Amino acid sequence: MKFEYHLPVNVVLGRGTSDSIGDKINGLGKRALIVTGGSSTKRSGLLDKAEALLHEKGISSVLFDKITPNPLTTTVYEGAALANAEGCDVVLALGGGSSIDAAKGIAFQAVNGGDINEYIFGRAYSERALPLVAVPTTCGTGSEGNGFAVMTNPETLDKKSLRCKAIIPACSIIDPLLMTSMPKSTLASVGFDALCHNIEAYLSSLSQPITDRMALDGVRLAAQSLRRVYSDADDLDGWDNLCLASLLGGMTIGVCGVTAPHGLEHPVSGLSNVTHGQGLAALVPTVTRHTLPAGREKYDLLAKEIGGAGAKGFIEEIDKLLAEVGLRFRLKDFGVTHNDVPWLAENCLKISLNGLKAHPKFFDRNELEAIYYEAL
């Protein structure tokens, strides 16, 4: 047995922990760029609360509230320019995975400058960024638990992650009480994303004993707690467990990366601006059917965690879960057409080759196209 495990994530998880925002940023900087979307943190009162908690500690703040789903590299440039113009020395991310990923990109870009795509594609390298504190308001992307920041280049439609230890949050404050007002459609998408992260980390050829144990726990917790909170938003124990599943998923992919499901989905949401969890829902059953012969042993174990019997039972349970939480989608529902498939397959190989290689079965271009066609 031989492996390495290194993921320095400082996590504060528990109900009411968002009260510690000021305490956790204190000492990291004196002027914070608050990165968030345009409405949800304002409606919920979290933005006002965060600004007040910073003020109590003598920390001034500047608001950047232009984050959208599937954040763009151009938005990252704009946020970094504001951070530098305002003399910000710390970044506070408030919101879902898009806000956290964009905040990571901004923290990186503000220090390094230049073309961030050079770093995303590994043609340039840096381990410098502004310190970042993340306060997620959704429980699924796992961005609070790793050094990945997914963003889309609007010129090429490449949706790919910046990967850098410097953008691992200095602290992630995970307060389940911030999650309970999510619309059911958002909850379903992010919860399924959390499940997929744990599944893919377990399937990955880069998995190892520590991540295996974390991922299998994450699969069980995600499958059970998503059902619970989808049917009862007042189930606080369920919210606790879904937040933990999301964190475990983020931490495990931080070590193992994602595999084919995410690899195939990113071109879809890069092309059509699809909600990520819905795109995964349209692809995972088909990807799994194509993978079963090569990954049967692992799927047998995954099936036990979600209540299925054997590898085929895993697919049946996934289908049941998708039906229960309103995630039965086809790619055509997002406007994807047969004519898009060749570009999707080509882009998948361009941006996700390493993830495809880590999957139990490598899909060449012909099989990628077959999967996309079947998922239409």
Could you give the CA distance from residue 343 to residue 281 in angstroms, rounded to a whole number? 20
Residue 208 burial class via C-beta count within 10 angstroms: exposed 0-12, middle 13-18, buried 19 and up = middle
> DSSP secondary structure string, 148-163?
EEEEE-TTT--EEEEE
Helix H or strand E encompassing 132: strand 132-136
Helix H or strand E encompassing 261: helix 260-272
- Residue 217 DSSP class: H
**Secondary structure tally for the chain: helices H, strands E:** 15, 8
Q: Please enumerate in sequence order all residues whose Cβ is within 8 A of that of 179, keeping only pairs 6 or more positions apart, or say none.
A: 137, 138, 139, 187, 239, 242, 243
Could you give the CA distance from residue 149 to residue 70 in angstroms, rounded to a whole number? 11
Minimal CA–CA distance to 235: which of 186, 176, 194? 176
Q: Please enumerate in sequence order all residues whose Cβ is within 8 A of that of 168, keeping only pairs 6 or more positions apart, or say none.
A: 7, 8, 9, 146, 147, 254
Report pLDDT for 319.
96
Report pLDDT for 224.
97
The rounded average pLDDT for each run of 10 residues, N- to C-terminus, in the chain (376 residues) is 85 97 97 95 96 98 97 98 98 97 98 98 97 97 96 97 96 97 96 98 96 98 98 97 98 97 98 96 97 94 90 92 97 98 98 97 97 98
Q: Identify the three-state secondary structure at position 376.
A: coil
> Rounded to the nearest 5°, which phi and psi values hold at 346?
-65, -45
What is the residue whose two structure tokens read 């113009």? 85
Minimal CA–CA distance to 350: which of 266, 258, 257, 255? 266
CB 135 within 8 A of CB 94: yes
Other CB atoms within a 10 A radius of the CB of residue 43 amount to 9
Other CB atoms within a 10 A radius of the CB of residue 55 amount to 12
- Residue 15 DSSP class: T
Other CB atoms within a 10 A radius of the CB of residue 61 amount to 18
> DSSP secondary structure string, 54-65?
HHHTT-EEEEEE
